[in-house]
Chains A and B, each alone.
Chain A
Amino acid sequence: MAHLTMKSKNDWRSRLFGAGSFKLWALLPLLVVLVIFTLLPILQLVQMSVSELEFVDGELVSEFVGLGQLDNLAKDPIAGIALKNTLVFVVAVVIIETVTGFCLAVAISRTKTLAVLYRSVVIIPLLIPPVAIGTMWSLMYDYNYGLFTTILIEMGVQYPPLWTADPDLALISVIIVDVWHWTSFMFLIMLAGIESIPPPLLEAARVDGATELRAIRHVILPMMAPTILVAMLLRTILAFKVFDQIFVLTSGGPGTATQVISMHIYKVFSEQFRLGYAAFLSLMVAAFMFIFVAFYLWASRVVRRRLG
């Protein structure tokens, strides 16, 4: 008995201060941050999602309704449309930005003289607040005094596109702005991925007489696959949360062409103050995002298996 206690005590000591203790100490700051700053709000959120909340005489009163928020979802005129638009938006921007980000990263990693110029220019769109990006693009898109229309008319185009005022073109217009804004995000992660490939590997591939394309296919792409998937995962979650930019560009219109779910959740949470329903919608959207997460996990497993 005494022996056992001694052992577990030693065990505890060695875990905290022994050779392997770095593992714990390295993780601890993150755990402290997570427990202090996120545990309570997340538990509150889950509790809210099964309740109806209301201020009565200055007190926030909560009533348990179980899955009652499903009724609200059934009656919601926008949630379905917004979710559909969000999915289209997310898939489109993630694919386009992954491809362009990857191409840019490969191309810029090959440059020498102008590399500093390219790298600094590419970061610029990320440094402008989304509100300003939305505003400036809406000004460029504007049919009456915008830049694009003015240029196209000067060039002799009779019916320039209406961009954000055309229900069929509005979501595409929004996607264009997003690609301009966020491709740099993918670029930065992927460039880091390319730079992490040991140079001898790349040189070997090139010396072997492989063309650049083959080097990309056989060395860069396989080595980069995990990084690409992580970048796509992070970008997907970010794209699901797209808000300010669309809010300023179109406010969800024309009609319901650019309604997205995060704008709707904000409205339900803030303007309508339906905390329960907003929490429920947030969790539902998170569930959708986890479908994407599962897909990326599956894809990364397949990639790893292929690579042996």
Chain B
Amino acid sequence: MNKRIGNFSRRDFLKAVGALSAGLAANPLLHSNIRAFAQDIAAQPPITILINDSPWFPGFAAMVELYTESTGNEINLDVTPFPGMLDKTRNAVQAGESEYDAVAITEQNIPFFYNSGLLRPIADIDADFTLDDHIISYGDAARWDSDLGVNGPMGTILGVPINGNIQLYYYRRDLFEANGIEPPKTFDEMEAIAEQLGRPPRLFGNANRVNPIWWEFGAYVDSYDAEYVRLEDDGSWSVGFERPQGLEAVNRWLRLGRDWAPQNYADLGQGDLLALMASGRLAQVHMVGAAAPNYDNPDISVVGGSMGATVVPGVTAEARSPRTGMWVMCHPDNLPSERAAAGLEFVKWLTTKDNQLAYAKAGAIPVRQDTYEELATDPVVGWWASAFAESTPFLHPETRLPETPLIRDSVSTRMAQAYVNEISAEDAVALMASEIRAIMEDAGYTVA
């Protein structure tokens, strides 16, 4: 059993494809399904997809291979480092004709591309297209409401989720069980666990990601009911840091981030958190869900088999608000119709339930609730798939506005300053509040 997710070779790749095909062959239902579906797909022109290299990429690549095998349609992949994705996508959609038939867009870039008018609405490619109810909504990530200038349930469908990444809370199940600790539901419980289990420098109670302070911190402010910005019922926008809970959220973040963490807490990125957890030096951590398969990889981690995961805690169990960091697949507007159609055909194929199961087993992160529920009892991926399934009702995606990158700049700067006491927590909150208000007012929003 060679399951090297972050370390995927051609050999592994063939093995994954082989295992998949074997699995499919062994499961007559699944097999006939794919065959049946494959028969529906007419021969399509070869397409090129822009996708980022990532720990879940091998899963994506395995599905591409399977698609070609079962439908005969060819797909080329432009595998690009994550930081290059935004510029490459932007260039492609501005060219005379896009070189890509489908582009993967990460959640934080959704507002720019959806708002730009550079993508082709899915209905213009396939008038009969409907989004399957089992595909998780992720805050209407597929739709753009151009009247409101934000994702909304009434919006036009511009992309289909293809990676359902969210935040999870990870813990060392072995340590928790040995000490009779239940996984926490609230920040208070998290602090108590950090206090009880922390034995620095061999085992740290908790650590937070700092580069940058934005995404995970969002789960704190949302849980405290202090969202960076929020659309109120009367159509005006409110700024969360102007409410008293804003300061509470900040203080809670600072405490959990600093008090039980390694001394270099001011310079921890996602890679550091993964490293600390994977080398057995961290008792619990709130981080990206797509990292989960890494912990079972013996080349990376020494804690395989001892990990647990659940919903990210909140102020109260009800107010838990994990954020999403998913990807949608979109089609540039500057494409001939048949190329856009060929791109969409693959996306539709990829997001069926059976193919999502195969997708997960090959190391990627599915987007369907029924897939997660079915995987929840799987002996290998069950420990995290169940946490994904459990998180869905609590998901609290950020409000995706074209101005979000500006808000992000303010929050991550001021929080970074507060983290190392360049400024006080109170000053940070006051500055974030006034800066976010100015950003919103300058952009013409009505701010309450």
Contact = CB atoms under 8 A, between A and B. Distances in A.
Interface stretch (A8-16, A87-95, A219-227, A251-259): A251-259
A75 interface: yes
Given A55-B117, A145-B279, A256 B413 contact: yes
Nearest to B334: A58
A251 B211 contact: yes
Interface in B247-292: 262-267, 269, 272, 275-276, 279, 281
16 contacts: A55-B117, A55-B118, A57-B117, A58-B117, A78-B409, A142-B264, A145-B279, A162-B267, A165-B263, A165-B267, A250-B211, A253-B210, A254-B419, A256-B413, A256-B416, A273-B90
A255 B409 contact: no
A254 B415 CA distance: 10
Contact of B419 (A57, A75, A255): A255
A292 interface: no
B410 interface: yes
Interface residues of B, number: 40
A77 B434 CA distance: 12
Interface string B402-437: 000110111001101101101000000001000100
A162 B267 CA distance: 9
Contacts, number: 93
Contacts of B212: 251
A250 B435 CA distance: 25
B147 interface: no
A144 B112 contact: no
A162 B420 contact: no
A193 interface: no
A143 interface: yes
Contacts of B263: 143, 162, 165
Interface in A201-259: 250-257
Nearest to B210: A253
A253 B266 contact: yes
B117 A142 contact: no
Most chain B CB within a 10 A radius of its CB, from A166, A257, A271, A272: A271
Contacts of A125: none
4 smallest A-B Cβ distances: which pairs?
A165-B264, A254-B266, A165-B267, A143-B264
A142 B262 CA distance: 11
A18 B420 CA distance: 69
Nearest to A254: B266
Given A143-B263, A162-B263, A55 B417 contact: no
Contacts of A75: 435, 438
B130 interface: no
Contact of A272 (B94, B272, B333, B409): B409
Q: Is the interface of A mostly helix, strand, loop or mixed?
A: loop
A143 B262 contact: yes
Most chain A CB within a 10 A radius of its CB, from B276, B333, B422: B422
A256 B264 contact: no
Contact of A144 (B210, B276, B406): B276
B86 interface: yes
B81 to A, nearest CB: 9
B2 interface: no
Interface string A263-305: 0000100111100000000000000000000000000000000
Contacts of A167: 266, 420, 422
A273 B409 CA distance: 13
Interface of B: 86-87, 90, 94, 112, 115-118, 210-212, 262-267, 269, 272, 275-276, 279, 281, 333, 405-406, 408-410, 413-414, 416-417, 419-420, 422, 431, 435, 438
A58 B406 CA distance: 22
Contacts of A165: 263-267
Contact of B266 (A255, A267, A273): A255
B383 to A, nearest CB: 25
Contacts of A144: 262, 264, 272, 275-276, 281
B408 to A, nearest CB: 8
Contacts of B417: 255-256
Interface string A161-174: 01011110010000
Contacts of B279: 145
B6 to A, nearest CB: 15
B58 to A, nearest CB: 21
B409 A267 contact: yes
Contacts of B416: 252-256
Contacts of A252: 416
A116 interface: no
Contact of A256 (B117, B118, B267, B422): B422
Given A143-B264, A144-B262, A271-B86, A77 B116 contact: no
A282 to B, nearest CB: 16
Nearest to B269: A251
Nearest to B442: A75
A170 B118 CA distance: 41
B400 to A, nearest CB: 14
Contacts of B266: 162, 165-167, 253-255
A253 B415 CA distance: 11
Most chain B CB within a 10 A radius of its CB, from A58, A166, A251: A58
B439 to A, nearest CB: 9
Nearest to B201: A144
A214 to B, nearest CB: 48
